[in-house]
Structure 1
Amino acid sequence: MGNDLNMGSNGGNVYDSTSIKVLEGLEAVRLRPAMYIGSTGEMGLHHLVYEVVDNSVDEALAGYATEVSVTIHDDNSVTVIDNGRGIPVDMHEEEGVSAAQVVMTKLHAGGKFDSKSYKVSGGLHGVGVSCVNALSERLELEIWRPDGETGPSYTWQQEYSCGIPKGPLTKIGKAGRKTGTRVTFKPDTTIMEMTVFNYDTLATRLRQLAFLNKGLKITLTDERAEPEPKTTEFQYSGGIAEFIKLLNKGKQVLHEKPIHFEADRELPNAAGTLTMEVALQYNDGYSENVSSFANNINTVDGGTHLTGFKTALTGTINRFGQAQGLFKDVKENLTGDDVREGLTAVVSVKVPQPQFEGQTKGKLNSDIAGYMTQFVNEKLGEFFDKNSTVGRKIVGKAIDAARAREAARHARDLTRRKGALESGGMPHKLADCQEKDPERCELFLVEGESAGGTAKQGRDRRFQAILPLKGKILNVEKARYDKMLGHEEIRAMITAL
C-alpha cells in the first residue's frame, strides 16, 4: 500500500525529492518568460525595450542623465544608450565577478535596492535588464565610466548569449569624459512569439516618458525605414501639462489652459520624499481619459494614487458647487462619473520604495491615497478660488452629466415598468414574419418606405421581417443614453429586436 501512495494518476510516476526542480540563474526566466514580462507576444516584446529604457530614465530621475536614445536596427535588434553614470564595473565582492555582470545575470540585483544610489526608481522587482538578457539570443553591453571614483572614463564591453556571458567584462580603451551605458539586444526567436518591433508602439511610450520627465531628451530611430532611417525626438519643457494638450488635440476644451500643480511631501519614518503632479483639462465630450503613472511606470490598472485623485476631485468639485450656489436644481451630490465626464487628466507620482501589484507593475499598491487626496483638495480648491469662472464651467458640465444620468435612469425605469419602448406593441411599420422563434428569424433594416416595399415583395415571409427606417440614424457612440432612447428609429429597432 505504501507503494500505491507514490503512484501518479498516470500509473507510475513517483513524486519525491527528485521531482523538485531548482532553476538556477536566469533559467526560470527562459522557462516561464510570461511571469516576468507579461507575455511572449507583442506586449512582452516591447516590454523588453521598456525595461532597458526605464533604467536609463532612472538615471535621469537621479539627476545624472539628460539624453536617452533608442534605435531599431535592420535585423530587429534594439540599442538603448544613455549619458548617465554607467553601470558600475568594479569587482563585486560577494559574487566574484564585475558588478555589471551581476546586474546583467542575477535576478533581484541592482542599485535600486540601495536608497543611496536611487532615491526614486521604477520599482523594487529588480529583474528588468537581467530578464532582457535572458530572453535575448544576443546582448552586447558597453559602459563608459571611470576606473574608480574619479578620473577619465574608459570603455568597457561584454557580450552575452541567452543570458550567459561569452567572456568577462573587458576594458578596451579610453573614453575621455564620456559616461553612460549602451545595451544592444536581439530577442530570442525560440522564445518570443513576435520579434518585429512596432515603431509607433515604442514612440507612444517614449513620448510619455519625455512628458513625465520635463526637459529629458529622448530620441527614437528606425533604421528599417525606407528610403532612409526615420528619427523622432521627444523633449517637452512643459511636462504633463503639454501631455494634456496633446491628448485633447482636436477637441473643444472648456478652458484653454490645463490645470497643473505639483508638490513634495516628506514621508514618515525618514522614508523619503513623495512627489505628486497632476494636470487636467475638460473637453465637451462625454468620456473620461485619465492616465496614471508611478515612477514613470504607466499604472494601467490604477492604484492608490489614482484612487486618491478621484476622491479629491469629486469632493472638491462638490464643495465648490455648493459654495457657489450652483446646486439649486440638483437633487443630490455629483458622483465621480459626473465630475469625470469630459475629463482628460494625467496623475504622476514619484515614490521611494514603491510597491506594485504584479511583475509588469500595472497597479501601485503603496499607501499614498491620503497624501494624494489632501494634495488635490488643497491645490484644486486654491485654483477654483482664484479662477471661479473655470470652476463654474466645470461644475456646470458635471451638473449636465448628472441630469443626463438621472434622465437615463428614468428612461430605464420606464422601459421596465411601462414598456416605454414597446408603445403597446411592435413598431407599426414592421413587416413581421410568421416564425416566432428568434433564432430562426432574420430582420432586415432598410432605408425608406420605398425600399421597404421592395424588400417586402422579395422576402420569405415565413422567417424574414422587414423594418423600414427613415432619416439619418443617431450616432449612438456620441450620444447619451437618454438621447438614444428618445430617438424614434432606434426605439423601433430595439423593440423589433
Structure 2
Amino acid sequence: MTESGNPSQPPNVQECTSSHIQVLEGREAVRRRPGMYIGSTGERGLHQLVYEVVSYGVDEHLAGHADNIDVTITADGGIRVADNGRALPLDTEEPTGKPTVERELSELSFGSKTRTGYWVSGGLSGLGLCVVNALSSRLTVEIHRDGQRWTQAYEEGTPITPLMRNEETSGHGTAITFLPDAGIFETTRYSFATLSERLRELAFLNGGLAVSLTDERPERPERSVRYHYTDGLRAYVAHLNPSPRSLVHSPAIAFQSENQDETISVQVAMQWNACSTGGFHSFANSTRTHEGGAHEEGFRTSLTSLVNDYARRQGALSADDEAITAEAVHKGLTAAVSVKLTHPVFEGSTRTRLSHPEAGAYVQEVVRRHLTDWLDRNQNEAAAIIRHILSTSTGRGKW
C-alpha cells in the first residue's frame, strides 16, 4: 500500500477515460483495420474486393434487373466491373446535399438503406462498395441511367471530383473501376485462375446470369472467359461429375422452392456416381459455406430419412431390416444446396457456417417433398439409385 492508502501503481501510468478512446469512422476505420472487413490484406482480401463489387451486380440480377456482369483485369493491374442493372441512384440526399451514389461509396452506415430487391448475394451487408473504395488508391464510378452517363472519381475513398454529367446514352447499369492500394495489401497482383473459378461458381449459382472475365495485362496475351448456365445448379453438378459412364442416373435431379414470406429460397441439385466418393457443396447467399450449417444438416437429415422410407415402400427393405445409414446414402453422391436468405445468420466473421434454424427446417421440408415426388415419378432411375445405395451398404443383398 502507498502512504495514501491506495493500491500501488506503476509510475507514469495515466488513467484511461472515454476521452482516450479513439473512435474510427468511415473510410479511416476501414483503412486502419481492413482485415475486419475483407478478412485479410493478402491474396484472399485482395480478391474479396472484386467479389464485393460483383455482388452488387448479382443483387441486381436477383431483383430481375440485370443479366450480365463483365469483369476486367485492366492493363495497369486494376479491376473494372460492369453490370447492366438499374445503376446506382443519382438523387440528392437531404440534409447532406450529397448524391446517393457518393454516400453509397463513402459512408459505412448507408448501404443497407439504399438496396432494394433480394440483396442476398453475399456481400458485406450493403457496405461492400464503401469498403472497396476506402481500400483503393483510386476508384471511378460510371453510371448509365436516365439517358445520361455520369462519372465520379475518388482517391483512398475520398471524392476528388463532383458527380459529373457526360454525354447522352441509351444504356443502363453501373461500372466501377478501382486500383487496390499497394500501401495496404501485401500483393496487388490478381490471379486470373482464382477470379475465373469464383465467377464460374457465381454463374452456376445464379442460373441465367452471364459473367465474363477478361485479362488485359500486357505481360501476357489477352485472354477471356464467359460463363452462362441456364440450368444453374444442375449444370454445376454435371460439371462436378464429368464421367457419364459411371453415373447411376442422368440427368441430375434438380428442384427449387421459395417460402410464402419470400425470405428463404432453396435450390438443390444431386446425382449419384458409381465410381466416385461424391462431394457435397453448400452455399448461403452465393457464398460457399465450407463448414456447413443448418441448410446442410437439413438436407442430410431429410435425404437419409426419405431414402429409407422409399426403400421400405418399394420392398427393398423389410420391416426387420436395419435402416440404411447416412454414410451409405451419401456414398457416391454429388450434391449442391444453395439457400438465399434476406436475413442470414452466420457463425463468425468468415461466413463459412450458416446458423439459421429456419433455413434448416425449410431445406428439410423442400427436400422431402420434391425428392419424394421425383422418386415416385421416375421409378426406373429411383430403382437404380436404391440398388446403388444398397450395394454400398455392408451386408446388404441385391434388390
Matched, 1:276 2:269: no
Q: Distance in 1 between matches of 2:327 and 2:334?
A: 13
Deviations 1:33-92 (A, max 9, x none): 111111111111111100000101111111111211000012220000011111011111
1:80-159 aligned at under 5 Å gives the runs 80-110=81-111, 112-113=112-113, 117-122=116-121, 125-146=125-146, 153-159=147-153
Contact 1:37 1:359 in 2 (8 A): no
In structure 2, how many angstroms separate the alpha carbons of the residues matched to 1:64 and 1:3? 72
The alignment's C-alpha RMSD in Å is 2.5
Change (3 A) 1:384 1:225: farther
2:223 alignment partner in structure 1: 230
Q: Does the 8 Å CA contact 2:345/2:355 hold for their aligned counterparts?
A: yes
Task: Confirm or deny that 1:219 pairs with 2:212.
Answer: yes
Structure-to-structure mapping, 1:321-336, within 5 angstroms: 321-327=311-317, 332-336=322-326
1:188 equivalent in alignment to 2:169: no
Q: For residue 284 of structure 2, what is the aligned residue in structure 1?
A: 294
Cα deviation, residue 101, structure 1: 0.9
d(CA) in 1 for partners of 2:129 and 2:395? 50
Is 2:384 the partner of 1:393? yes
Q: Match of 1:255? A: 249
Aligned to 1:482: none
Question: Partners in 1 of 2:202 and 2:95 — Cα distance?
Answer: 35
The alpha-carbon distance between structure 1 residues 12 and 87, as it changes in their structure 2 partners (threshold 3 A), is same
Q: Post-superposition shift, 1:114? A: 6.0
Residues 248 and 388, structure 2, Cα contact 8 Å, conserved in 1: no
Cα drift, residue 376 of structure 1? 0.5
Once residues 285 and 109 of structure 1 are traced to their aligned partners in structure 2, the CA distance between those partners, rounded to angstroms, is: 51
Higher relative contact order (CA 8 A, sep 6+): 2
Q: Is the 8 A contact 2:312 2:319 kept in 1?
A: no
* Residue segments in structure 2 that go unaligned for 5+ positions in a row: none
Deviations 1:415-453 (A, max 9, x none): xxxxxxxxxxxxxxxxxxxxxxxxxxxxxxxxxxxxxxx
User: Is the 2:256–2:265 contact (alpha carbons within 8 Å) kept by the matching residues of 1?
Assistant: yes
**SS of structure 2 residue aligned to 1:266:** coil
Report percent identity of matched pairs. Answer: 39
Distance 1:328 1:242, change over 3 A: same
Match of 1:206 in 2: 199
Q: In 2, are the aligned partners of 1:6 and 1:15 still within 8 Å (CA)?
A: no
| Distance 1:192-1:397 versus aligned 2 partners, 3 A rule | same
Closer, same or farther: CA 292–71 of 1 in aligned 2, 3 Å = same
For 1:4 and 1:180, locate their aligned partners in 2 and report how far apart those are by CA, in whole Å: 67
Measure the CA separation in 2 of the matches of 1:88 and 1:179: 11
Is this contact kept in 2: 1:37–1:360, CA < 8 A? no
Q: Residue in 2 aligned with 1:425?
A: none
Please give the residue correspondences for 1:331-410 in structure 2 after superposition, counting only pairs within 5 Å: 332-366=322-356, 367-403=358-394
| 8 Å CA contact retained: 1:36, 1:360 | no
In 2: Cα distance, 1:347 partner to 1:16 partner: 50
Amino acid in the other structure paired with 1:381: T
- Between the two proteins, the alignment pairs up a number of residues equal to 391
Distance 1:330 1:237, change over 3 A: farther
How far apart are 1:312 and its partner, in Å? Answer: 1.0
Tell me which moved more, 205-214 or 282-291. 282-291
Per-residue displacement from partner, 1:293-323 (whole Å, max 9, x unpaired)? 2232222332322221111111111111222
What secondary structure does 1:75 align onto?
coil
Gaps of 5+ in 1: 147-152, 406-497
TM-score, normalization by structure 2: 0.90
Distance 1:7 1:98, change over 3 A: farther
Take 2:239 and 2:117, find their aligned partners in 1: how far apart are those partners?
Answer: 31
Q: What is aligned with 2:54?
A: 53
2:329 maps to amino acid: V
- Residues 1:26 and 1:4: Cα distance change in structure 2 (over 3 Å): farther
Q: 2: distance between equivalents of 1:6 and 1:239?
A: 68
User: For residue 305 of structure 1, what is the amino acid of its counterpart?
Assistant: H
Contact 1:330 1:399 in 2 (8 A): no
Equivalent residue, structure 2, for 1:246: 239
Distance 1:315 1:225 in 2: 56
Give the drift of 1:404: 8.3
The answer for the alignment partner of 1:317 in structure 2 is 307
Letter in 2 for 1:122: S
Deviations 1:318-363 (A, max 9, x none): 1112222223599632232221111111112232233333445323
Deviation sequence 1:254-284 (CA, Å, 0-9, x none)? 11210111122213xxxx3532211101112
Q: Is the 8 A contact 2:70 2:212 kept in 1?
A: yes
The structure that has the greater radius of gyration is 1
Partner of residue 166, structure 2: 172
Q: 1:157 to 1:312 in 2, by over 3 A?
A: same
**Structure 1 residue runs of 4 or more that deviate by more than 4 Å after TM superposition:** 1-8, 112-115, 328-331
More divergent stretch after superposition (290-299 vs 76-85): 290-299
Q: Whole-Å Cα distance in 2 between the matches of residues 42 and 223 of structure 1?
A: 20
CA spacing shift, 1:330–1:203, aligned 2, 3 Å = farther
- State whether residues 38 and 49 of structure 2, in contact with CA within 8 Å, keep that contact through their aligned partners in structure 1: yes
Deviation at 1:247, TM superposition (A): 0.8
Q: CA deviation at 1:210?
A: 1.2
